[in-house]
Amino acid sequence: MRFRFPIISVALASVALTPLAMPLPASAQTVADSAREAVIVLRPDAVFDGETATLRKGWSVLVRANRIQAVGPDIATPAQASEIQLPGTTLMPGLIEGHSHLFLHPYNETSWDDQVLHELLALRTARATVHARVTLMAGFTTVRDLGTEGAGYADVGLKQAIAQGIVPGPRMLVATRAIVAPGAYGPRGFEPGVAVPLGAEEAGGPALVDAVRRQIGAGADLIKLYADYRWGPSEPSRPTFTEAEMRMAVEAAHGAGRQVVAHASTAEGMRRAIAAGVDTIEHGDEGTAEVFAAMKAKGIGFCPTLAAGDAVARYRGWNGAAPAPRSVQEGYDALAKARKAGVAICMGGDVGVFAHGDNAREAELMVKAGMTPAEVAIAVTSGNARMFGIGDRLGIVKPGMLADLVAVEGNPLTDISAIRKVSLVMKDGILWKGPATR
Ligand SMILES: [Zn+2]
């Protein structure tokens, strides 16, 4: 039964991950209205502000409506305010996922090809609402979602559904369809000329600029370009767009106030994307010292997506024992080179390749690859917020910022796995998970 109906069983398992006692509002709008007036004092053991590697013991946070009003050791509880006691926890900014695909589910359940070719848009969207919920409950209050992989502009609709309180989920920065050079992406293996669903929009030459504009007009918060990919099923990645093409796309996107993200794993694909002026590079497995030095010089962020490499290697039979397969080791080596060059590191796991809600997997692998827990804790909060252009309102616990807060059991500055033990989630001043107020 389970074997015959994998999709159904997986969906039920995902729902079961959600706490039954979750304070799901009868009407999200009612909660939003009451939150507009609410004053809440959160009393954890300590506060990690998201940018300083120091635990502030005995600090509390005062939230009024959807903003942080005060942070410090001497916060009195105003009359008519609620107070939430959070013993044993560290309160920190809502976590920010740097590379998600809410419209994908793990490839060991259904291959990427089959998801793109055979899953109905409504099925993928229904599933994405569940992914959004488990992501929020895992403490990730913002995601940068880097392409629907064939689900069109459904990310724009999901973002609206979350913003309107119809379904619970994180804030979303969406890439919509993403853009690939014609012929460079999958699914593959069909008679040439036959139209099949593709994982991204094909565009090149001058038409690339129009694709950028169309996606922005349809709701894209950022543009994703595939700077390299495998041209055939059994060959390595090679560059797809020319530097000039990417330069035009970046000019159009930046002119519209949108960042550009480049998928690039080859040194030459990265070099072209850097020269074209993209804002972040994803994967970067074959990046060299020279490539990372150029990224540093231009202030381009790096998202190593170690968790996706780890997951795919395990799907192919790796049990996690040393030595790691070459694909996994390459990711670690790229991160080491990027850090040596001083490149800003994004925390983004390519979640969707592996299970949504397991976002912390990337953070743990970043520590395994040599970063300190404090460096990763800063990357997943203020680091990602700054890199994605939302650092003026998210990623730091300080007065005036939006009230996206999570309480985790333990100290994430010394043990990054603490971010797996989330006991409170507040987004925009609304409490989605946590103990009762009093
Ligand atoms: Zn991805």
Strands 140-145 and 95-100: parallel
Residue for token pair 């024992």: 321
Same-domain check for residues 173 and 112: yes
How far apart are alpha carbons 90 and 408 in whole angstroms? 5
Q: What's the pLDDT score for residue 37?
A: 77
Question: What's the 400 CA to ligand 1 centre distance in angstroms?
Answer: 33
Residue for token pair 């962020």: 301
The answer to whether 295 touches 338, Cβ cutoff 8 Å, is yes
Question: What's the 282 CA to ligand 1 centre distance in angstroms?
Answer: 8
The answer to whether 149 touches 119, Cβ cutoff 8 Å, is no
Question: What's the 201 CA to ligand 1 centre distance in angstroms?
Answer: 15
Instruction: Provide the CATH number for the domain around residue 47.
Output: 2.30.40.10
Same-domain check for residues 168 and 35: no
The H or E element containing residue 349 is: none
Residue for token pair 């370009």: 225
Is residue 177 in a domain? yes
Q: What's the pLDDT score for residue 1?
A: 31
Tokens describing residue 170: 């994180």
- Residue 393, amino acid: R
Is residue 388 in a domain? no
Question: What's the 146 CA to ligand 1 centre distance in angstroms?
Answer: 6
Question: What's the 222 CA to ligand 1 centre distance in angstroms?
Answer: 14
Is residue 155 in a domain? yes
Question: What's the 139 CA to ligand 1 centre distance in angstroms?
Answer: 20
Same-domain check for residues 274 and 349: yes
What residues have CB less than 8 Å from 76, skipping those under 6 apart?
Answer: none
Q: Write out the residue range of the structural domain in which residue 203 sits.
A: 95-358
Residue 394 CB neighbour total at 10 angstroms: 22
Q: What's the pLDDT score for residue 13?
A: 34
Strands 405-409 and 422-427: antiparallel
Is residue 197 in a domain? yes
Is residue 80 in a domain? yes
Same-domain check for residues 281 and 174: yes
Is residue 251 in a domain? yes
Q: Give the SS3 label for residue 425.
A: strand
What residues have CB less than 8 Å from 400, skipping those under 6 apart?
Answer: 67, 68
- Residue 340, amino acid: K
**Residue at a domain's end among 358, 376, 408:** 358
Q: What is the CA radius of gyration of the chain?
A: 21
**What does each C-alpha distance from 105 to 132, 148, 273, 400 come to in angstroms?**
12, 11, 28, 36
Looking at the structure of the chain, the number of domains it has is 2
Question: What's the 346 CA to ligand 1 centre distance in angstroms?
Answer: 13
Same-domain check for residues 127 and 270: yes
> HEC states along 35-80?
HHHCEEEEEEEEECCCCCCCCEECCEEEEECCEEEEEECCCCCCCC
Same-domain check for residues 50 and 174: no
Same-domain check for residues 204 and 68: no
Is residue 384 in a domain? no
Residues facing residue 222 across a β-bridge: 259
**What does each C-alpha distance from 428 to 69, 156, 159, 261, 403 come to in angstroms?**
13, 19, 15, 26, 5
Tokens describing residue 306: 């170690």
Question: What's the 330 CA to ligand 1 centre distance in angstroms?
Answer: 17
Same-domain check for residues 58 and 206: no
Residue for token pair 């793990």: 106
Same-domain check for residues 338 and 422: no
Question: What's the 196 CA to ligand 1 centre distance in angstroms?
Answer: 21
Same-domain check for residues 182 and 50: no
Q: What's the pLDDT score for residue 85?
A: 97
How far apart are alpha carbons 158 and 54 in whole angstroms? 36
The H or E element containing residue 126 is: helix 121-137
Residue for token pair 């609304």: 430
Instruction: Provide the CATH number for the domain around residue 131.
Output: 3.20.20.140
Q: Is the dihedral of CA 146, 147, 153, 159 positive or negative?
A: negative
How far apart are alpha carbons 289 and 271 in whole angstroms? 12
Question: What's the 226 CA to ligand 1 centre distance in angstroms?
Answer: 10
Cβ-based burial of 233 (10 A; exposed 0-12, middle 13-18, buried ≥19): exposed
Q: Mean pLDDT for each consecutive 10-residue tract of the chain (438 residues)?
A: 31 34 44 68 98 98 98 95 97 99 98 98 98 98 98 98 98 98 95 94 98 98 98 94 98 98 98 98 98 98 98 97 96 98 98 98 98 98 98 98 98 98 98 81
Same-domain check for residues 99 and 78: no
Same-domain check for residues 302 and 240: yes
The H or E element containing residue 384 is: helix 384-387
Question: What's the 119 CA to ligand 1 centre distance in angstroms?
Answer: 19
E-strand ranges in 195-272 read 201-202, 222-226, 228-230, 237-239, 259-264
In 3-state terms the chain splits into helix, strand, coil percentages (rounded to 5) of: 35, 20, 45
Is residue 168 in a domain? yes
The answer to whether 410 touches 423, Cβ cutoff 8 Å, is no
The answer to whether 302 touches 293, Cβ cutoff 8 Å, is no
The H or E element containing residue 248 is: helix 243-255
Residue for token pair 């894209």: 220
